[in-house]
Amino acid sequence: MTSPTTVSIEEQVDLLMSGAEYGDPETREAMRRELRDRLVEAQAAGRPLRVYCGYDPRKPDLHLGHTITMRKLRQFQDLGHDVTFLIGTFTSLIGDPSDIDKARNQLTPEEVRANAETYAQQAFKILDPELTSVRYNDEWLETLDFADIIRLASNFTVQQFLQRENFANRLDAGQPIFLHEFFYALMQAYDAVAQEADVQVGGQDQLFNILVAGRKLQQGLGQRPMVAIIMGESLPGTDGHLKMSKSQGNHIPLLSEPWDMFGKVMSVPDHAMPVFHKLVLGWPPAQLAQFEADLTSGVLHPNDAKMRLAREIVAIYHSPSDADAAQRRWDEVFRSKDGDGVPSDIPTEQLAAPERILDLLRRLGMVESGKEAARLLEQGGIRLNGEVVSERDAVVGLEGLPAVLQVGKRRFVRLIAEKR
């Protein structure tokens, strides 16, 4: 960690604004100027800036896309500023409407708390646990009463919310916009007020929530509007095109097993590799330029580059030895000319009675839902002893054991009869 006084103000501004984008140069320059002013004042007062980013536990796992904002938090942290990793235990009950074209399903408090259990530990893959404050926004949002909500809402107009692109699109298409969806930006804005934040970090989908709602509510309640650091690029998912998202199913969870994480990175299309190197590994422009030149000239084969990328990512979020093991397993399944393409170290499950394959997959956690199982079945992604399973009611019988059940390219289980 570096003290803010050992790095010049301009150097801090350059580093902290790197990768930020607002859609127009005037806003970017305004945020740069405000950040510089905050840094000067904080240094004169001998205090660090109060910086945070919020993460809603709609699902139990964070993914590689979340690490972009975490790395920005780490930059603030390394410069000696106070960083809060905020878990949206209350905002998750509604769900952010920013990046989807319909209302999210509402979760229960029990579901949110269960999802949030490991969020801090996942964040510590990037952030320094000794220097990170972990907070939950139900701490202040749960205490608000209806009069408080009316008071907060009086700082905004309906027109301001309808200017949001996703709301405007839904309005034009005649699709419903539910009143509770407006409350999300209001609640997130109050997070900034409750923490008296100097800076909030977020992705492009948070532009309205931070730059408009958060700053406006702070100002309306007598606080100085925070600086918005809006990261310009989003990490694409494993499809290489859409933003990495749990709702899209194209994400790479930080809790992925090393072998699964390695395989998911290997499935990323070649054209997306430069942005993965930039956003996940933090490569600078010169290194990226050389990387792209080597790919174009043929000096570097795309598959070798991707394998190196997969190894580095697994080493970061697990360990170098896990990366080595994942590489060996990949080679065993996909590169070896011998064998049947089944890894030697797959788990074993004993069956006491015949069982429907789709039920078995859900019981073993090889699929996240019945919907995913049905999709894989339709796409030919489920195999039993190498044969595609196409019937929804297909059953594994004891007489056919031992057998190998495979889901996708990387998930295997060896089925054997229960010993009696």
Q: Assess if residue 74 is contained within a domain.
A: yes
Q: Assess if residue 253 is contained within a domain.
A: no
Please tell me whether residue 403 adopts helix, strand or coil conformation. strand
Which CATH number fits the domain that encloses residue 77?
A: 3.40.50.620
> If pLDDT is split at 50, 70 and 90, which confidence band does 105 have?
low
**Residue 271 to residues 114, 155, 233, Cα–Cα distance (Å):** 37, 45, 15
> If pLDDT is split at 50, 70 and 90, which confidence band does 239 have?
confident
Cα–Cα distance between 420 and 407 in angstroms, integer? 28
Q: Assess if residue 387 is contained within a domain.
A: yes
Q: Assess if residue 21 is contained within a domain.
A: yes
Residues 210 and 77 in one domain: yes
Residues 76 and 98 in one domain: yes
Number of other CB atoms surrounding residue 69 within 10 Å: 21
Cα–Cα distance between 17 and 33 in angstroms, integer? 10
Q: Assess if residue 122 is contained within a domain.
A: yes
Long-range contacts of 212-215 (CB under 8 A, 24+ apart): 212/160, 212/185, 213/156, 213/185, 213/186, 213/188, 213/189, 214/188, 214/189
Domain extent, residue 411, equals 348-417
Phi-psi label, residue 283: left if phi above 0, alpha if psi -120 to 50, beta otherwise: beta
Residues 140 and 285 in one domain: no
Question: Residue 391 burial (CB < 10 Å; 0-12/13-18/19+)?
Answer: exposed
Residues 8 and 120 in one domain: yes
Nearest partner of 327 among 346, 339, 347, 313, judged by Cα? 313
Residue 284 has pLDDT above 70, yes or no: yes
> If pLDDT is split at 50, 70 and 90, which confidence band does 29 have?
very high
> What are the pLDDT digits (tens) for 360-400?
998 888 888 888 888 888 888 898 887 888 888 889 888 77
Residues 61 and 178 in one domain: yes
Q: Assess if residue 242 is contained within a domain.
A: no
* Residue finishing a domain among 284, 313, 335: 335
Residues 384 and 315 in one domain: no
Alpha helices in 144-203, H assignment, sequence order:
146-153, 158-162, 165-172, 179-195
Residues 172 and 299 in one domain: no
- Helix/strand number for the chain, H first, E second: 19, 12
Residue 15 has pLDDT above 90, yes or no: yes
Task: Say which residue the tokens 């990226």 belong to.
Answer: 288
Residues 206 and 269 in one domain: no
> If pLDDT is split at 50, 70 and 90, which confidence band does 96 have?
low
Flag whether the pTM goes above 0.85.
Answer: no
Residues 56 and 130 in one domain: yes
- How many domains is the chain built from? 3
Residue 229 has pLDDT above 80, yes or no: yes
Residues 17 and 101 in one domain: yes
Residues 48 and 89 in one domain: yes
Which CATH number fits the domain that encloses residue 370?
A: 3.10.290.10
Q: Assess if residue 31 is contained within a domain.
A: yes
Q: Which of 86-90, 112-116, 268-272 has the lowest mean pLDDT?
A: 112-116
* Residue finishing a domain among 281, 305, 335: 335
* Residue finishing a domain among 210, 230, 250: 230
Q: Assess if residue 238 is contained within a domain.
A: no
Residues 79 and 146 in one domain: yes
* DSSP designation for 103: P
Order of strands, edge to edge, in the sheet holding 227-230? Answer: 132-136, 82-87, 50-55, 199-202, 227-230
243: tokens are 């933003």
Average pLDDT over residues 203-219: 93
